[in-house]
Amino acid sequence: MTNIPTRSDLVLIPNASTPADRSIEKRRIRKHFLLNVIRENSPVSRAEISKLSGYNAPSVSSLVDELVEDNLVWEETARTTARGRRPVPVQINGRAASVVGIDLGWSSTVGVLLDLEGNVISTFEADTSKFKGAKANVRWLREVIAELVYASDGPVPPICGIGISIPGLVPRRNPETPIILKSPTGEIRELLSNEYNIPVIIDNDSRMMAIGSLWFGEGRNHKNFGVLNLGYGLGFGMVMNGKPVRGARGFAGEIGHIPFGDAHAKCGCGRMGCIQTVASGEGLERMAREGGLDVTDVKDLFDLGRKKNKQALEIIDKFSDSLARAISTIFNLYDPAALIISGRVARSADMYLDDVISRVRKYTLPSIIDPSRISISQMDVRLGPMGAAASILHRIYYSSHVEVDKVI
Ligand SMILES: [Zn+2]
């Protein structure tokens, strides 16, 4: 067992089966709704909370009393001045708990520990330990969590939930999806959740990036936007009407596998000709290898391009064209207010972005495309883990939001 402090009462998982359970659950959902009103308006008086929430004064009073008792909010002591009693401001206690977010990539792992207000307490980044099977994954995740706690300055607020972002298909928890029974993500969730006795949410990395952007990044200003995850593979996370899009079974956004790639190249998924065979880190490495270029990774290839190496520039040109086709497909399908490009390959955007944008103009209906909507995320590799942590925050503050609740 672990000696890391945790608290298990904050992340709501609606699973009431009896009427009595349902009424307890309803009260918790109302309480957390108020907690979010306080978070968004802190400091705020009880009267204002009533106005903002639409709950009557006695309800607000008893629910806020409970939040004070739970140590989730603070309230100033009442003061009486010459003009009478002043309203007492209530504010959120961000340090009442913390949330973990970990992006478990093929090659690297990035973790963050956030407080309840979303402030970063500590971060961790390392090469991903080579693992096989759920148990080995969980051992590594446990190490990452210990490192995050160790790296924090001062006492760590008890951890109330763990969000994990992983590449590949993550089935949503849905009775119509029996695949969940065999899913290794289900096993990881079970093992971690049992070990720490707190909820664990696992979701696809591109979707976690979109959630991260919605909470902390460029997506904050939009209700409809997408994040293009340009790393070793090519993924896509979409937010529509303020909610992450999952699809019927949780597999939405696999843009890397649309069949517009190199017909003779084998994709990581086992099929031929996916666009990811060209428009991704995997694609760039493959083309460099086949061209006999002496590079160990994508960064080397772009460095060669900066030195005007003809072959490297040809590869980058082919990559840019495919990437533009993928982006054009997204614009034609979704008309996003913003398309944010993130992932490790986005770090070398100076070598291809202008070119990609001019090709996107060519491939997209003129009235749909507005190149100013395409940008590179400023959050770099933190977007995924911040999104994973935000998926926990989301469940604390928007517990009646069923979309996230259905995630495994
Ligand atoms: Zn594929």
Ligand 1 centroid to residue 269 C-alpha, Å: 4
Ligand 1 centroid to residue 132 C-alpha, Å: 22
Q: Is residue 329 part of a domain?
A: yes
**Residue among 159, 183, 143, 224 at smallest CA distance from 407:** 183
Ligand 1 centroid to residue 179 C-alpha, Å: 20
Structure confidence at residue 205 (pLDDT): 94
Structure confidence at residue 398 (pLDDT): 83
Q: What is the pTM of this model?
A: 0.91
Taking ligand 1, which is a single-atom ion, which protein residues have CB atoms under 5 Å away? 257, 267, 269, 274
Domain residue limits at 166: 96-210+384-405
Contact 163, 391 (CB under 8 A): yes
Q: Residue 161 to residues 7, 13, 40, 64, 192: CA-CA distances in angstroms? A: 8, 11, 21, 23, 10
Question: What's the pLDDT tens digit per position in 216-246?
Answer: 999 999 999 999 999 999 999 999 999 999 8
Structure confidence at residue 189 (pLDDT): 85
The amino acid occupying position 319 is F
Q: Are residues 230 and 317 in the same domain?
A: yes
Q: What is the CATH number of the domain that holds 50?
A: 1.10.10.10
Q: Are residues 306 and 359 in the same domain?
A: yes
The amino acid occupying position 317 is D
Q: Are residues 89 and 103 in the same domain?
A: no
In eight-state DSSP terms, residue 347 is G
Ligand 1 centroid to residue 266 C-alpha, Å: 8
Ligand 1 centroid to residue 361 C-alpha, Å: 26
Q: Are residues 121 and 199 in the same domain?
A: yes
Q: Are residues 86 and 27 in the same domain?
A: yes
In eight-state DSSP terms, residue 153 is S
The amino acid occupying position 53 is S
Ligand 1 centroid to residue 373 C-alpha, Å: 27
Ligand 1 centroid to residue 255 C-alpha, Å: 9
Q: Which helix (H) or strand (E) holds 74?
A: strand 73-75
Structure confidence at residue 335 (pLDDT): 93
Ligand 1 centroid to residue 371 C-alpha, Å: 27
Ligand 1 centroid to residue 274 C-alpha, Å: 5
Helix axes 383-397, 19-41, angle to 10 degrees: 120
Q: Which residues of the chain have pLDDT under 50?
A: 1, 174-182, 401-408
Number of domains in the chain: 3
Q: What is the CATH number of the domain that holds 195?
A: 3.30.420.40
Q: Is residue 8 part of a domain?
A: no
Q: Which of 36, 63, 93 is the last residue of a domain?
A: 93
Phi and psi angles of residue 134, each rounded to the nearest 5 degrees, phi first: -65, -40
Ligand 1 centroid to residue 234 C-alpha, Å: 10
